[in-house]
Amino acid sequence: QRQRVNVTVTGAGGNIGYALMFRIASGQLLGPDVPVALRLLEIPSGLRAAEGSAFELQDSAFPLLREVLVTDDPVQAFDGANVAILVGSRPRGPGQQRADLLEGNARIFGPQGAAINAGAADDIRVVVVGNPANTNALVTASHAPDVPADRFTALTRLDHNRAVAQLAAHLSVPVTSVRGVAIWGNHSALQYPDVSHATIDGRPVRELVDEAWLVNEFIPRVANRGAEIIAVRGASSMGSAASATVDHVYDWVNGTGHDWTSAGVFSDGSYGVPAGLVSSYPVRSLGGRWAIEPGLAVDDFSRARINTSVAELQAERAAVSALGLLGPRESA
């Protein structure tokens, strides 16, 4: 068996946290031969729920689960962490806009970034799930200047998986036939699900679907799927968000092979996205690091959509910056 991996989950008493922890403890996050220690971080009002979930983890007798710690202390939760999954965030209240969320959440993710900087393991990998995920990842990284910027990511794999599944359903093919989908920009309704490089069993998607379907149905459906789930289910995406988080970390650690996927990563200026923003890109994981897929052609339609989404990221960054909520990292 391999060396034990310490996985910290914040918001562990919430919905996604609950769906996530059983997948982690069963070995699906990292692999079937990797022992796991779980650190569950909550705020005091969520501690009992997290403690109850920890009892359930114990009762599941997972062979790979070595230890479960429940705490409301970020310093303790991130001490020695190899993987940090930041789910806990301030939910959007009735009538609240996304922008209203920025300040409250920046006040959560700043201290967590500082705790990661102070105590996490040298190989720490961070994925931010809690919304607004891209900007929360930026804030977290800005408070962890000693950790390389490429260790901070935002979850857009759920959007990617939704896009793959919508294409597969529309064309009546298995999801495994779909390759080359990409999500660009912000994890929000302004994201850009891009099929211009996508193929179905090797045939370009653009030859198989008409433009009207792409523009009027596919893109809005993927981008607004979270709202659709809430409307139909009466509660937000939990299982699918947890599943996408598992996909993201598994691929980051174990590699994506010959296919790319999508993740929010720090821009290096690629594809005209200003460096220092956390933007979704088509990415491959090689040797345990995400690399932005280079050299893809971007047509005028894609360019306009990417620019719109990136403008929203810039506005979010400007908002948290104006509030003085960015930390000491120069590049952020």
Numbered residues of the known binding site: 11-17, 92, 98, 105, 112, 129-131, 162
Q: C-beta of 89: minimal distance to ligand NAI in Å?
A: 4
Pairing of strands 182-184, 278-286: unpaired
- Residue 43 or 118 with smaller CB distance to ligand NAI: 43
Contact of 47 with 13, CB cutoff 8 Å: yes
Give the number of residues in contact with ligand NAI, rule: CB under 6 A. 28
Q: Rounded to 5 degrees, what angle do the CA atoms 73, 30, 40 make?
A: 15
Closest CA to 159 of 137, 140, 196, 133: 133
For residue 309, state whether it binds ligand NAI (rule: CB under 6 A). Answer: no
- Residue 64 or 142 with smaller CB distance to ligand NAI: 142
Tell me if residue 327 falls in helix, strand or coil.
coil
Q: C-beta of 151: minimal distance to ligand NAI in Å?
A: 18
- Number of DSSP helices (H) and strands (E) in the chain, helices first: 11, 14
Q: C-beta of 266: minimal distance to ligand NAI in Å?
A: 17
For residue 279, state whether it binds ligand NAI (rule: CB under 6 A). Answer: no
The H or E element that residue 31 is part of is: none
Site mask for ligand NAI (CB under 6 A), range 93-132, x = bound: ---------------x--------------------xxx-
User: Which contacts (CB < 8 Å, 24+ apart) does range 177-181 have?
Assistant: 177/201, 178/205, 179/259, 180/205, 180/259, 180/260, 181/262
For residue 273, state whether it binds ligand NAI (rule: CB under 6 A). Answer: no
Catalytic site residue from 143, 187, 197, 248: 187
Contact of 113 with 139, CB cutoff 8 Å: yes
In sequence order, the β-bridge partners of residue 183 are 193
**Torsional sign, CA 274, 275, 276, 279:** positive
Residues 7 to 66 in contact with ligand NAI, rule: CB under 6 A: 10-11, 13-17, 41-43, 45-46
| Annotated catalytic residue 187 | yes
Q: C-beta of 111: minimal distance to ligand NAI in Å?
A: 8
Instruction: Enumerate residues 6+ apart whose C-beta is below 8 A from 140.
Output: 86, 109, 110, 112, 113, 116, 126, 128, 152
For residue 327, state whether it binds ligand NAI (rule: CB under 6 A). Answer: no
Q: C-beta of 91: minimal distance to ligand NAI in Å?
A: 5
CA 120 from chain centre, in angstroms, equals: 19
Which span sits near ligand NAI by CB under 6 A: 83-91, 118-126, 197-205, 300-308? Answer: 83-91
Residues 208 to 247 in contact with ligand NAI, rule: CB under 6 A: 236-238, 241
For residue 187, state whether it binds ligand NAI (rule: CB under 6 A). Answer: yes
The H or E element that residue 254 is part of is: helix 239-254
Q: C-beta of 198: minimal distance to ligand NAI in Å?
A: 20
For residue 91, state whether it binds ligand NAI (rule: CB under 6 A). Answer: yes
For residue 88, state whether it binds ligand NAI (rule: CB under 6 A). Answer: yes
| Burial 28-64, CB ≥16 within 10 A → b, else e | bbbeeebbbbbbbbbeeebbebbeebbeebeeeebeb
Residues interacting with ligand NAI, by CB under 6 A? 10-11, 13-17, 41-43, 45-46, 87-89, 91, 108, 129-131, 133, 155, 158, 187, 236-238, 241
Give catalytic residue positions.
187
